[in-house]
Copies of this chain bind each other. A is one copy, B any other.
Amino acid sequence: MFNFIFQNPVKIVFGKGQIAAIACEVPQGARVLVTYGGGSVEKNGTLAQVRNALKGRAIVEFGGIGPNPTYETLMKAVELGRKEKIDFALAVGGGSVIDGTKFIVAAIPFDGEPWDILSKAASIKMALPFGTVLTLPATGSEMNCGAVISRKETKDKLVFLDPKVFPLFSVLDPTTTYSLPPRQVTNGIVDSFVHVMEQYLTFPAHAPLQDRFAESILQTLIEVGPKTLANPQDYDARSSLIWCATMALNGLIGQGVPQDWSTHMIGHELTALYGLDHGQTLAMLLPANMRVRQKAKHAKLLQYAHRVWNVHESSERNMIDEAIKQTAAFFEAIGAPTTMKDHGLTCDVEGVLAQLKRHNLTALGERRDVTPDVFRQILELI
């Protein structure tokens, strides 16, 4: 096991009816910027519950933070927040709204060009405090301190991580997710699954508890994913999906072990170039990545085949083949295609390679051996 430092201070308030608890979490007298996305939280009544819980505080609302939140849109919220002298933010939505809000709370007090926080990893001295009301289980952003922000102008999609942007609290009320379109639920299942795989499917590092925690999330996603798609109002299935999504990327399972993240980094470029959903890119790239790198990942692939898919084949080679097939079949079964053709697209391999190069992504993966040559092999399979 590698040395590690782990701390996650986010307060999770979980369950039906818990939005009212915000009243105890947001200071009386706060000037709150409430951020949200396309308006589904208005339609399904979540925003009304939030407004009710925030009574007595000054509220400024900023909607329209779309998927793959853009610097262009977020800077409007930054201006608004500065003008209105807000001192607290509340993100009501999924990972995009929460990620966007992390950028907003870091950018408002930032002295300089806020894009530098992303493009130059400029250090932030402070961020405004904020909470979240999660309405889409997927990214884990509700319990971590990372954000992914895009810039339309340059087709960039960049990551920043800072302990100053941990949410103070996150309300996870499964009933707020009942009205989600199936496509978003599917994307969330795939995203959570791949988050786990990035931290698990590497090389053995004498960390059996981390391995089993990771396998626990994978097995639970396989169990509850189809259930929650078939019956969105199955409270228990939806609760488990949410808890899996949160645990998949709150830091816990990745402590003391190697991490990959090449599937995500390549996926970001496909989203930037083709406008594909993040989850859609991952569903194609993970099986392809596993196929191309099966030699390097041999030991963990065998463990994955055995423990997660209960595969017992005649040879190790067949076990691994079967596990990769089952992974792709799982994605397909929950409505996530695994090829560009299924999306009516053809992959411009050279174009994606050029984007990766432009972002200085030339050696990814747990051993930094996922080079442009490997990118090419992966991209040729999707």
Q: Using CB atoms and an 8 Å cutoff, list the residues of chain A in contact with chain B.
A: 1-18, 21, 206-210, 212-213, 215-217, 219-220, 223-224, 236, 239-240, 243-244, 247, 252, 255-256
Contact = CB atoms under 8 A, between A and B. Distances in A.
Contact of A255 (B14, B208, B217): B14
Q: Which 10 A-B pairs give the minimum distances between C-beta atoms? A: A3-B15, A212-B216, A206-B236, A7-B11, A9-B9, A1-B239, A6-B12, A209-B220, A208-B220, A4-B14
Contact of A220 (B17, B212, B239): B212
A264 B7 CA distance: 28
B1 A247 contact: no
A247 to B, nearest CB: 7
* Residue picked from A1, A2, A18, A206, most chain B C-beta under 10 Å: A1
Nearest to A9: B9
Given A7-B12, A239-B256, 13 more contacts: A1-B239, A3-B17, A5-B21, A6-B12, A6-B14, A207-B239, A208-B223, A209-B216, A209-B240, A210-B243, A212-B212, A212-B220, A213-B213
Contacts of A18: 3
A13 B21 CA distance: 32
Contacts of A213: 213, 216
B6 A9 contact: no
27 contacts: A1-B240, A3-B16, A3-B18, A4-B12, A4-B15, A5-B11, A5-B12, A5-B13, A6-B11, A6-B12, A8-B8, A9-B9, A14-B255, A14-B256, A206-B236, A206-B239, A206-B240, A207-B240, A207-B243, A209-B244, A212-B215, A212-B216, A212-B217, A212-B219, A212-B220, A213-B216, A216-B216
Contact of A209 (B8, B217, B256): B217
Interface centre among A11, A207, A212, A247 (most CB of B within 10 A): A212
Given A208-B223, A209-B240, A240-B207, A9 B12 contact: no
A244 B5 CA distance: 16
A7 B217 CA distance: 20
Nearest to A219: B212
Contacts of A1: 14-15, 236, 239-240, 243
Nearest to A21: B5
Contacts of A243: 1, 207, 209-210, 256
Contacts of A9: 7-9
A298 B209 CA distance: 27
Contacts of A2: 15
A215 B220 CA distance: 13
Contacts of A220: 208-209, 212
Contacts of A252: 252
Contacts of A10: 7
Contacts of A236: 1, 206
Contacts of A15: 1-4, 256
Nearest to A243: B209
Contacts of A21: 5
A3 B12 contact: no
Nearest to A17: B3
Contacts of A212: 212, 215-217, 219-220
